[in-house]
Amino acid sequence: MAETIKADELMIIESARHIRDGETVFAGTGMPLVAAMYAQKSHAPHMCFVIETGPIDPQVLPVPTSVSDPKGMHRAAKLGTLREVLGCLLQRGLVDVGFLGGAQIDQFANINSTVIGDYQQPKVRFPGSGGANDIASHAKRILVICRHEKRRFPEKCAYITSPGYINGPEGRKRAGIKNDHPDITVVTDLAVMAVDKSTGKLQVFKLMPGVSFEQVQANTGFPITASPHITTVDLPTEENLRVLHQEVDPEGEYLGKED
């Protein structure tokens, strides 16, 4: 079975495991939205889903293609506004989990979704922050999902769109961020990493099935340490995969059609 499971399936299901039933989860667009949907339709039916554009606690119909897709508004407790979800919920500290993606993530878990190269004349310009900076600054816990490639994990981000621990264990506190020592977890197709609060740096504490620590290091642009208690991510069950493909993404918008 392990040979037939796709990397994206593993990433989505593992990241969703970090969401607890009853929590308020603010999910950004793309894979975070898919993983939050999966959590709601599997082990966290009482999760309060908040979408950046304003829907609060919707019963999401399969796989919105963006945070503005009406499928993300289905049977919402409230169709709010940006001000309500960013200001009245997130910035008041009422969001348990902020769920993000990113183009680059550095050793201090800072996220770049803005630009590569010079800001005025960049090599690549990305979509920018949206609500990502607010999410990273104010959510009680931060969850990130992305592919693990050396170019995506540089020692220092070209631009900090959303703060991790900035430059060390007291970096957020020095910057005046009220939530100064949050739990930050990064789930990739190779590993699960979390910030060691004593250093402010990412550390590997789980490996994806069949992946070695040496593979993780080879695909990371900075020296990374392993937890003394490193484990392997549990494989999804057939029921996990059924929910993901039949209830979350039946048209294969993100995961493609099942073979």
Catalytic residue, candidates 52, 214, 247, 258: 52
pTM, full prediction:
0.94
Q: Which residues contact 85 (CB under 8 A, 6 or more apart)?
A: 26, 50, 51, 52, 53, 54, 56, 131
**pLDDT in the model for residue 197:** 96
Q: Is 251 a catalytic residue?
A: no
Residue 5 in contact with residue 254, Cβ under 8 Å?
no
Pairing of strands 104-105, 48-51: unpaired
Query: Which residue from 212, 232, 211, 213 is spatially nearest to 223, judged by alpha carbons?
Result: 213
Q: How far apart are CA 134 and CA 206, in angstroms?
A: 28
Confidence label for 71 from pLDDT (cuts 50, 70 and 90): confident
pLDDT attached to residue 3: 60
The closest of 160, 224, 159, 218 to 186, measured between CA atoms, is 224
Q: Is the pLDDT of residue 139 over 90?
A: yes
3-class SS of residue 74: coil
User: With respect to CATH, is domain 2-248 assigned 3.40.1080.10?
Assistant: yes
Instruction: Please give the structure tokens belonging to residue 16.
Output: 């969703």
What is the spatial distance between Cα 174 and Cα 182, in angstroms, rounded to a whole number? 14
Q: Does position 126 have pLDDT exceeding 90, yes or no?
A: no
- 216-230 tens-digit pLDDT: 999 999 999 999 999
Q: What is the pLDDT of residues 147-171, one digit of tens each?
A: 999 999 999 998 999 999 999 999 9
State CA 77 to chain mean position distance.
Answer: 24
The sign of the torsion formed by the CA atoms of 152, 153, 155, 156 equals positive
**Separation of CA 160 from chain center:** 16
